[in-house]
Homo-oligomer: A and B are copies of this chain.
């Protein structure tokens, strides 16, 4: 492997795009993001990545569910008693999930049918209008959403930055949420460094690096969770060698057979 090609960048900048409006159901994101980029006098360059908050992707894809429409199953009712959450919310979480990992007071951690282990299957009531009556699901296929957004941006911008769709996840053993990549297109999500050597010629012990998660973690700090609302971050300066047309955030999921907690 050519170490020169795979070497890390010397600098990286992250910029929160101003002026992304409230996204309404069905509203395409590419024109909104293109307009915001143009206000920042953006010219595409190799190594650019747009980090896009899951919430605006879900809104654009109209992934809202009305709570009043939900028929609550016996299983959801049972879990709702344990975790103390709205039984209709628990029903929606179960429909999104392959597995319940943990249900305890105030805690409902599941394996989402897309493979992420996360609280409430990512079903969200914050930063959405009319949150008393409806909730917002994750995008149906975040890797496909990232690829479609990148494709649409390449038409409006001439060249396509990579796209990473981010969410914030709680983590075992550590406090606080951290930004995580749930969709990616155009950038390697998981970098395989097998065969590379350290500065003293010893084979690297760490061979796989979660590139997309690392960028997502920093970008979500700029997005903020509260009133500030910057759902799109432009990251610049990543190595050109991390460009991958076929990469997907799903590569970051540990295969079930290697899961130490099953």
Docked-complex contact A225 and B206, CB < 8 angstroms: yes
A194 to chain B, nearest CB (A): 11
Residues 73-115 of A contacting B (Cβ, < 8 Å): 102, 104, 107, 109
Select A126's contact among B206, B213, B225, B228, beta carbons within 8 Å: B206
Select A16's contact among B11, B127, B225, B238, beta carbons within 8 Å: B11
Known interface pairs A172-B259, A209-B177, A227-B3; A126-B10 also in contact (CB < 8 Å): no
Look across to chain B and name the residue whose beta carbon is closest to the beta carbon of A9.
B222
Docked-complex contact A125 and B205, CB < 8 angstroms: yes
Interface segment, one of A25-33, A60-68, A150-158, A247-255:
A247-255
A78 to chain B, nearest CB (A): 19
Chain B residues contacting A205 (CB-CB under 8 Å) are 124-126
The CA of A242 and the CA of B205, in the complex, are separated in Å by 34
Select A10's contact among B178, B222, B227, beta carbons within 8 Å: B222
A145 within 8 A of B: no
A163 within 8 A of B: no
Docked-complex contact B11 and A200, CB < 8 angstroms: no
Chain B residues contacting A198 (CB-CB under 8 Å) are 126-127, 225-227
Docked-complex contact B131 and A229, CB < 8 angstroms: no
Look across to chain B and name the residue whose beta carbon is closest to the beta carbon of A242.
B221
Known interface pairs A7-B227, A13-B11; A221-B209 also in contact (CB < 8 Å): yes
Docked-complex contact B230 and A179, CB < 8 angstroms: no
Docked-complex contact B259 and A173, CB < 8 angstroms: yes
Select A228's contact among B8, B15, B117, beta carbons within 8 Å: B8
Give A residues with C-beta under 8 Å from B: 3, 6-16, 18, 102, 104, 107, 109, 116-117, 124-129, 131, 168, 171-180, 190-191, 193, 196-200, 202, 204-206, 208-211, 213-215, 217-218, 220-230, 238, 251-254, 259-261
The 24 sampled A-B contact pairs (Cβ below 8 Å) are A7-B224, A8-B16, A8-B221, A9-B16, A10-B15, A12-B14, A12-B221, A104-B260, A109-B260, A168-B206, A171-B171, A172-B261, A173-B261, A175-B190, A175-B210, A175-B251, A176-B208, A178-B213, A198-B225, A199-B227, A199-B229, A206-B225, A209-B221, A213-B217
